[in-house]
Every structure is written in structure tokens, then in C-alpha cells.
Amino acid sequence: MIQSYKKPHKLEDQYDAIIIGTGMGSLTTAAFLAKEGKKILLLERHYTAGGYTHAFKRKGYEWDVGIHYIGEVQKENSALRKMFDYITDSKLLWADMGEVYDQIIIGDKKYNFVKGVDAFKDQLTEYFPEEEKGIEDYIELVFKANKAMGKFYINKALPKFLGNIIGGILKKPYQEFSNKTTYDVLRSLTENEELIKVLCGQYGDYGLPPKQSSFAMHASVVKHYFGGGSFPIGGSSQIIKTIDPVIESAKGTILINAEVKEIITKKERAIGVKMSDDKCFYAPIVISGVGVINTFKNLISKENRFSKIFSEQLTKVKPSVAHGCLYIGLNGTPEELKLPKKNLWIYPDDLDHDECVDRFLKDHNEPFPVVYISFPSSKDPSWSERYPHKSTIDIITLLPFESFHQWEDSKWMKRGESYEAFKEKFAQRLIQHLFELFPHLRNQVDCYELSTPLTTKHFVNYEKGELYGLDHSPERYQQSFLSPRTPIKGLYLTGQDIVTAGIGGALFSGFITATTIEKKNFWKKIYA
């Protein structure tokens, strides 16, 4: 049951676990535990639940904040689909995006990513006929990396003593991929820089260009979409709507407008949480799904003897990139406006991905290193029933947090004219990319709104407005502290920092955290 902390609410006398945050990792952990009969209290500082899976309404439109497409769920027997079915009692439904799920646009050249491994390979070979061997080797490596991935992450759920014994054996095969950059791996397969640029055309899904990102992360994303993309019918808000009843069935509660100030510890054990108004809730298990940096830096008392250890560990990882998203509302149905279902990835054609990022970071007047355009109203078959004669578009790019530093101490919706003017410049640049591809939309725009890294910080509470938690660099995969267990007894972690970015990564993190706590083989239950 979703209730507001700021309004009269009814809680159980006691809970088996408290979860901080209601992102995908938190919701998944809660659902798994609820199915084991555990009463869970979830605390969300935002006015709506769901983390990056939530939707917001404005001016008669609805926009999905963090979900633009999800792979593998169209296969009813895939691990991802089985997990979603398990935590939603099969109530969450999906719409296939069609044969082409992504289109990579580099200058005036367009490259389609089509569903199906063979079709994907054949299409790329048609674009680059001289690179057939390199393309085949690339696909083979993607599958090898993903095959090794399972044991790497399951190791995180093992008891510490067992992990110390066999952890190295379980992790080693995956580390052969995770310790290398995407560019280094691809450069070993081909010298064709255009092909490399195309193959890395989805790097915005994890935020790091190929010379900085781990190949393991790249391979995970690419494999994830080999079968095509899907979108939740009814929009991303259906995720929380279908998980909430599962949590409620075990007398669990979701409280919104409920900001946690501190994790309470006693004798090196987590025993509860203190709210922003100093009210306390107690439970034998506390789970944080609000990010490793946020948890260790802001929610653990500096008097805790593990604080120094946490501080040292945090120096080994960096927050991921921040972003801006232009939410656009248009007059007309997706069919009338001829909006596609596929996503568009737009890149400059004069430099490689890393050089484009570097150029933009030095001078924000330079071309955007990546522009991503999504058409959510086209992807959702129920959209026109819910919002007749309307359509929506999202346009996303990288925006560094530092660019907005001067307004950091201002309040949301009250940041002043200079902030709004600064935003408008970026908004106009982004919308021009849309009009260049779809000139007929110029007179159809009804409204638009740009979110910035400060928006993300305000709603999600990430310190630098980061989109993907921690950077997915090779160094990230070498950190053993990124696991559900913490040195503080009774305190666990979940969320994308434990596995990888994206809904799939966060979902799997919830599975691992629940497995760690319950010490049960949930695979058997999922596939029962």
C-alpha cells in the first residue's frame, strides 16, 4: 500500500525489513522478500514511488522518466522476463518495438540495429561487407562475456567465507572482459573506426564512451537488446502499480514523502532508520537502494567505526555522467505525426565518441557528443486511449553537473531567470535536432520542459545528479565492496551500483540482495 508520510497513515507495529528508496532494485528486493512472507517498509523521499521507473504528469501529458526500452522481456522464458513475472504476479505486460529498435545516426549516415542475432549480423555486414569476420568475432565475444557474467554476480551473494574460498575462481572468467575497455577489445577485432563508432552507438545507455567504459558493461547492453526492445503497456508507472500489490499482500507498506536522514546502528549492527523529522523506525534488517556513495557518505554516522573504511572505498569509484532530458508534448496522435517506435542515437561525424565527449566538456557550445531521441507514446499501444490526440518525445544528452553549479543551492522550481535562460539554450539546441529529422513537427509542439542534473539531484538525491550510479569503468568491476553485504551487520545494499546500470541491472541486484538475505535458491521458484 502506497501512503504519504506527510498525511495520516497507518503502519504495522513492526516490520521484518526497512528499505530506503523505491527504485527498481528496492522494489525487486521487497517483492522477493514479500513472497517469503516478510513485512517490508519502503521509504521514499520523492512524492511518488518508483525511482527512475516513475512517470510524471504535466499540462495534460505523461512522461516516463527513466524507461525508454527494455530488452529480453519479449522472450517468455528469459531470466529477465521470469523475474518480472515473479515480482508482479505476471501482471506487467509488454509491447514489442518492432524489427528496428535503435538507429545510429552519424552525420548523414544511418545504421539500423535489427532484432535477432543473425539479422543483426547480416545488417551490419551489409553496411561493412569487408568487416564480416570482425563482426562475427565481436558477436561471439559479446556472448562469451555474458556467459561468464552470472557467476561473477552470484559470487556477491555467497557467504563471506565461501566467497573467500571460491570467489576468485568465479570472478576470473568475467574479469577477462571487465578489466578491458570497450575500445581496446573492439580495436583488437577491427581497424575500421567507423564500425567501432557504430558498434558503440548505445554507449549512452551506460554513460561512458568506449575508451573509458568496461567491455563487460558494453557487452551486457548489446546482448540485452539482441532480441529487440519492448516497452511496458501503460507506461513505466505500471511497474510500481504491479509490484505494490505483491508487497502489500505480505502487509508491506510504501511511504512516499518519507526522507531518511540516517541509518541507526548499535554495536556495529543496523537496527533502523532516523527520518528527517527525527522519528525513528526499527527493523532487524535495513536495505539501502539509494546508491553506494549516498549510503556510505550521507546515511552512515561519522562516529561509526566503519566510516573511515567506507570513505577509503569510495575513492576507488566515481559517479557516472549527469544528463539533461527534454520532455516534449505534441498535438496529434503518434500515427498522425508519423512518429517511429525505434530510438535514434545522433552523433557528430568528425571525431570518435571519446573525442566528442572531451570537446563538449571543454566547451558546451560545441556539438553535443550524443543526442538520444525516444518516442514513448509510439511504443505504448495503450497511449492513445489514455491521452487521445496527444504524443510525447524525450530527447536526452550528457550535461555535466558542474555546468549548473552556480544554482546548486537554489530550490527546485525557484532557481531564477538566469537558470531558466540557461536551460532554454540547451532546450532549443536539442529540439533543433528533432526538427532536422522531422521538420513537420515544428508547428505541433504544445509544450516542453528540460530536466537538468539539478533536477536529478533534487528528486533522486544523487550528489552529482548522476544518471547511472557509479561509472562503469574497468576499475568499478574490481571493487569487492560493491555487493549486498556491508561490514555493518544487518545492513545490505541493492540497486544498480551492485550490478550494472539500467532496469535489468537493478532488477538483478534485487534478486541478488534477496538471495543474500534469505539464503535461498530463488531460481527454482522463478522457473517453477
**What is the average pLDDT score of the chain?**
95
**Segment 102-130 mean pLDDT:** 98
Among 219, 152, 223, residue whose Cα is nearest residue 185: 219
- CA Rg value for the chain: 22
Looking at residue 306, what is its pLDDT? 86
What SS3 class is residue 372?
strand
Q: Is the pLDDT of residue 165 over 80?
A: no
- Domain 2-92+234-316+479-526, architecture per CATH: 3-Layer(bba) Sandwich (3.50)
Kindly tell me the sign of the dihedral angle through the C-alpha atoms of 178, 464, 287, 73: negative
Q: Which of 24-38, 248-262, 301-315, 489-503 has the lowest mean pLDDT?
A: 301-315
Q: Where are the alpha helices (DSSP H) in 56-131?
A: 79-88, 117-127
Helices 132-154 & 215-225, crossing angle to 10 degrees?
100
Q: How far apart are CA 241 and CA 386, in angstroms?
A: 16
Contact 354, 212 (CB under 8 A): yes
Q: Is the pLDDT of residue 164 over 90?
A: no
Q: What is the pLDDT of residue 29?
A: 98
Q: Tens digit of pLDDT for each residue in 33-51?
A: 999 999 999 999 999 999 9
- Calculated CA dihedral for residues 177, 465, 258, 504, nearest 10 degrees: -30
* pLDDT (0 to 100) of residue 149: 95
pLDDT digits (tens, 9 = 90+) for 199-213: 999 999 999 999 999
Q: Which range, of 94-98, 423-427, 460-464, averages the lowest pLDDT?
A: 460-464
Of the ranges 238-252, 343-357, 456-470, 489-503, which one carries the lowest mean pLDDT score? 456-470
> Is the Cβ–Cβ distance between 355 and 369 less than 8 Å?
no
Whether residue 184 contacts residue 215, with contact meaning beta carbons closer than 8 Å, is answered with: yes
Mean pLDDT of 397-406: 94
Burial pattern 372-396, b for ≥16 Cβ within 10 A else e, equals: bbbbbbbbbeebbeebeebbbbbbb
Q: How does DSSP assign 222-277, residue by residue?
A: HHHHTT-EEEETT-THHHHHHHHHHHHHTT-EEEES--EEEEEESSSBEEEEEETT
What span, in angstroms and rounded, lies between the C-alpha atoms of 317 and 271? 28
DSSP β-ladder status, 260-265 and 280-282: unpaired
Please give the Cα distance from 394 to 373 (Å, whole number).
6
Considering the chain, tell me which residue range(s) the CATH 3.50.50.60 domain(s) occupy. 2-92+234-316+479-526
* Separation of alpha carbons 95 and 73, rounded Å: 9
Render pLDDT for 327-383 as a digit per residue (tens, 0 to 9).
999 999 999 999 999 999 999 999 999 999 999 999 999 999 999 999 999 999 999
Taking CA atoms, 290 is separated from 50, 135, 261, 266, in Å, by 12, 38, 12, 22
In 3D, which of 202, 182, 208, 183 has the Cα closest to residue 112?
A: 202
Mean pLDDT of 437-465: 94
